[in-house]
Amino acid sequence: MKNNSNVFVLLGLVVVLAACQPEQQQSNDAAEKIAVDLILNNGKIVSIDEAFGIHNTVVVNDGRIVELGDASLLEKYQAENIQNLAGKTVIPGFIDSHTHIRGRPRRYIELSEVSSITEMQDLIRAKAAELGEGEWITGYGWSEDELAEGRKPLRGDLDIAAPNNPITFTRAGGHSAVVSTLALELAGITDATPDPEGGVIERDENGVANGIIRERQGIVGRLVPDSTYEELIVSLEVNLNDLLSKGITSITDASKTPRDYEMFEELYAKPGVKLPRSALQFQWNNPQAIQDLKARVGDGNDFLKIGPIKIFADGGFTGPAAFTKEPYLDQGDYRGYLNMPEQELVSLINEIHDAGWQMGIHAIGDAAIELVVDTLADALSRNPREDHRNYLNHFSMRPSDATMEKMAEHDIHITQQPNFTYTLEGRYVANLDGWRLEHNNPIRSPMDHGIHVAISSDILPIGPLVGIYAAVTRKGMSGRVFGADEAITIEEAIQGYTIKGAYLGFEEDIKGSLEPGKLADMIVLSKDILSVDPEEIMDIEIEQTYVGGELLYQN
């Protein structure tokens, strides 16, 4: 009996051990999985690397990409946050390599969505009632091409709404403004006032100033009282945060000062802040202050850094004032302006080059582009610099092939705004003709010459999908196609708004594509941007925006 009891005990132990084995094995399997912060799976994850790889799953830890692959990665990694994409497309976050984001004061009116002068007048009346008589009213973003009246607002339109408030409203793009009669009077501007150097005071057929000032609107704007730091920083945070809803995870913010950098520093130091990454592009107004800031912050960090130096070579097309080789359509011998005397511009470019700074130079007209390229090429020949990455902002008119060949030879790059073809269609049609009209905002031709071309918005409008749409279709707002030979593929357009923008910021090794070791800046799209009909590109919605693997925007 004793021996039989021992046998039963042993058999029982075997049964118990056998029953426990699957649970223990499962536990061991879980222990062997690598713990990470985030896994996105069951999607179409487009890496934008050299192979333009398509993956099912992406693994993220400590803000960076760990691995991309198929669904088997779920057997290798575990995470508390696993998101089933249900087939949705993921691409790197958009990098807007040339834009302008500002904080706005209480007196400011946003005009980018205004569809008529009548609506503008209603906004003026409400703001005047809020502020009281005598207070300045400012605004930005109107475009005559989007107003029901089909014309520019003039001083009389502003006077009707608020005759006792000085008003200055900057046109979308920033190269002209409409001001009220009281604003003109306070600035001492009369019908007899000569045009400022490099600018135009528009007048009607009777020689009466109509309230439009091109390029030198600061002759009135200088009178607007300074805004408080407090109102600007609150508004700046709101405006930066809004970029996340557009899928923008990094920007180069142009025309800034060291004082602006300090405001950004304060914002990014706030706990829990939800903002895209920023590089600030300074104007060379105070070189010593810029050098002192550089000495203090060095290369900055992954969220905030000093960018290139901004130079304005000429004006824009909304005036128009871009400096062109041939006269504008039906405007006599008028060819626009350089922003400063030619020799002063040449000296400035050489000074900044010799100081060792990267430059992003505003050059819109073909004459301005060719002058800037010649100057940069001469500076680089005289004082060679490795990997300078100087580039032109805009490149709105196609220059000669010889100029593009020179750009390729000296590694002079471009950040282009194909969205201008869409938004500024009316301005190009009014001011250009023939071959130069068809080839506005060229992309294919400089790329074919071997020039590195990034894509950005310059806030006209700010949504990257508008730029991608125009780059692929070459269509204006009316549906007209301009120079189909300048179109690029959807893959090239996405690269222009991601990895090529990262390159201009010397950051292609850390962002711009979804690859192991890079920052997990990525967006989830409502439609597959690679296969959708091009006419539906602007209908795509940003469903999620991740910055460093953290979900900062959810539609």
User: Which residues lie closer than 8 Å to 453 by C-beta, 6 or more apart?
Assistant: 413, 414, 415, 416, 443, 446, 447, 496, 500
Strand-pairing partners, residue 138, are: 108, 168
- C-alpha torsion sign, points 417, 418, 419, 425: positive
- C-alpha torsion sign, points 124, 130, 135, 137: negative
Label the pairing between strands 550-554 and 137-142.
unpaired
Q: State the pLDDT at residue 174.
A: 85
CB 93 within 8 A of CB 247: yes
DSSP state of 501: H
Q: State the pLDDT at residue 469.
A: 98
CB 206 within 8 A of CB 166: no
What pTM was estimated for this model as a whole?
Answer: 0.87
CA 484 distance to own-chain centroid: 24
Task: pLDDT band for 27, please (50, 70, 90 cuts).
Answer: very low
Ramachandran bin of 62, using left for φ above 0, alpha for ψ from -120 to 50, beta for the remaining angles: left
Report the pLDDT averaged over residues 504-519. Answer: 98
Across 389-467, the runs of DSSP E, i.e. the strands, are: 391-394, 413-416, 453-455
Query: In this structure, what token pair is assigned to residue 514?
Result: 């979804």
Query: In this structure, what token pair is assigned to residue 497?
Result: 């708004």
Query: In this structure, what token pair is assigned to residue 90?
Result: 């993921």
CA distance 128 to 159: 12
Count of other CB atoms within 10 angstroms of residue 46: 24
Q: Closest by alpha carbon to 416, among 360, 345, 358?
A: 360
pLDDT tens, residue by residue, 272-317? 999 999 999 999 999 999 999 999 999 899 999 999 999 999 998 8
DSSP string, 346-376: HHHHHHHHHTT--EEEEE-SHHHHHHHHHHH
User: Which residues lie closer than 8 Å to 2 by C-beta, 6 or more apart?
Assistant: none
CA distance 233 to 103: 6
CB 142 within 8 A of CB 113: no
CB 446 within 8 A of CB 396: no
Say whether pLDDT at 5 is over 60. no
Task: pLDDT band for 2, please (50, 70, 90 cuts).
Answer: very low
Task: pLDDT band for 70, please (50, 70, 90 cuts).
Answer: very high
Say whether pLDDT at 17 is over 50. no
Looking at residue 240, its amino acid is L
CA distance 357 to 96: 20
Strand-pairing partners, residue 306, are: 280
Q: In whole numbers, what is the pLDDT of the chain averaged over residues?
A: 93
Locate tokens 């799953």: which residue? Answer: 57
Task: pLDDT band for 319, please (50, 70, 90 cuts).
Answer: confident
Say whether pLDDT at 396 is over 50. yes
Q: Closest by alpha carbon to 366, among 432, 417, 413?
A: 432
Task: pLDDT band for 31, please (50, 70, 90 cuts).
Answer: low
CA distance 504 to 271: 29
Strand-pairing partners, residue 84, are: 41
CB 507 within 8 A of CB 546: no
Q: State the pLDDT at residue 30.
A: 54
User: Which residues lie closer than 8 Å to 189 by C-beta, 6 or more apart?
Assistant: 201, 209, 219, 220
Say whether pLDDT at 26 is over 60. no
pLDDT tens, residue by residue, 81-120? 999 999 999 999 999 999 999 999 999 999 989 999 999 9
CB 453 within 8 A of CB 495: no
Q: State the pLDDT at residue 25.
A: 47
pLDDT tens, residue by residue, 206-262? 999 999 999 999 999 999 999 999 999 999 999 999 999 999 999 999 999 999 999
Q: What is the dihedral of CA 367, 371, 376, 381, to 10 degrees?
A: 130
